[in-house]
Amino acid sequence: MAQFAGKTALVTGGGRGIGRAICLELAAGGATVLVNYHRSAAAAAEVVAEIAGQGGVAHSLQADASHEAQVAELFKQARALTSGLDILVNNAGMTRDNVIMLMKPADFDAVLDTNLRSCWLCSKAAARLMMRRRSGSIVNITSVVGISGNGGQTNYAASKAGIIGLTKSLAKELASRGVRVNALAPGFVETAMTADLSPELKQSALAAIPLGRMGSPEDIAQAVAFLASDRAAYITGQTLVVDGGMVM
């Protein structure tokens, strides 16, 4: 039997990049997948269609996960479509890079809202459902930048470091109710977010990766599936780094 058969997973930012790969991986494991998107309706629809084409079940749900009212509506729709929620993957994210002296407060706030506030709001909504059932797994997508820091990314690094702290605190709150909470920290991954990097920056990044290549969205998705599955039943409050050895 598929490891996620009979289970429902919600993935924020599920229409593109890492989120898309996570949706496809969980669906391949038998999960019914709720593909959340903010603006990329067409991309989310493509993910749903691809899952359906492979014999799976998926639905696309629009919401800005950083807005409380929209998150409430998102989870209302999720409950209407499925019998419950077993897996939440908080993947929604964005960057607005600049050195601190040139970064506008609005750019700091936007990144913290999209990356960290959305994670907190969705985790709160999911926890309410999971605690009642005394089971569930939340996987929060952070970044190696949240561990090591990175020049020109004070907003992004702060948001991703915040996700690690949120993960540990929430894991302690929910463990007694049978709900696990973990984080996954990707390194350099080939997505639209890294496609605009200069060749020089990409070469510099590759030189710092012992395995000698950038990660793929599938590398991240497979690790997320492990943390979400019963194979990780005794793992909670941890941050799994998937970076080819870059920050070790």
Q: Which residues partner with 191 through β-bridges?
A: none
* Three-point CA angle 69, 65, 123, nearest 5°: 95
Contacts of 180 (CB under 8 A, 6+ apart): 136, 137, 138, 171, 174, 232, 233, 235, 236
**Nearest Cα to 48, choosing from 36, 35, 38?**
35
Cα separation, 157 vs 150, whole angstroms: 7
Active-site pick, 4, 37, 108, 156: 156
Task: Quote the tokens at residue 142.
Answer: 């952070």
Our answer to whether residue 156 is catalytic in this structure is: yes
Type and span of the H or E element at 241: strand 239-242
Q: In the sheet that 136-141 helps form, which strands lie side by side, from edge to edge?
A: 58-62, 32-37, 8-11, 87-90, 136-141, 179-186, 239-242
Task: Quote the tokens at residue 141.
Answer: 């997508």
Cα separation, 145 vs 186, whole angstroms: 9
Hey, which residues are catalytic here? 156
